[in-house]
Amino acid sequence: MATQIFVNLPVKDLDRSVAFFTKLGYTFNPQFTDEKATCMIISDTIYVMLLTVSFFQTFTKKEIVDAHKAVECSIALSADSKDAVNEMVDKAQAAGATIPNPATDYGFMYQHSFEDLDGHHWEFVWMDPNGVPEHQG
């Protein structure tokens, strides 16, 4: 069985977050959805648990970061092409996301990012497997 990843993110308004990510084309597993949380399906092995802030707080004694003020992580996902990267960022911006930086093109790698409604940083990356420079050791 392939290793699965479940990224857990605190959100202020679960319904608003679901509506945002639905506009980006994501779906949700109803078996793991209630008024406190939902399971967003990224792929067969990648899931994002969107948890209300109060529910998220039950899993930690630490203060929850306000992602509008500080970075707690950067979620990076691969895309099939530069166009696919741009399409996702454009969808996110149209749904209310902010764009913190312009796209970056390294030739062999292209990346662009957005911050969702709660300030979480999402990065989409396309890499040309034939263009990756060799490591100079």
Sheet bearing 46-52, strands edge to edge: 5-11, 46-52, 37-41, 27-29
Q: Which CATH superfamily is domain 65-137 in?
A: 2,3-Dihydroxybiphenyl 1,2-Dioxygenase, domain 1 (3.10.180.10)
- Dist CA 128 CA 11 (whole Å): 34
Q: What is the residue extent of each domain of the chain?
A: 1-59, 65-137
CATH architecture classification, 1-59: Roll (3.10)
> Tens digit of pLDDT for each residue in 75-116?
999 999 999 999 999 999 999 999 999 999 999 999 999 999
> Tens digit of pLDDT for each residue in 34-74?
999 999 999 999 999 999 999 999 999 999 999 999 998 99
pLDDT above 70 for 12:
yes
Confirm whether 1-59 and 65-137 share one CATH topology. Answer: yes
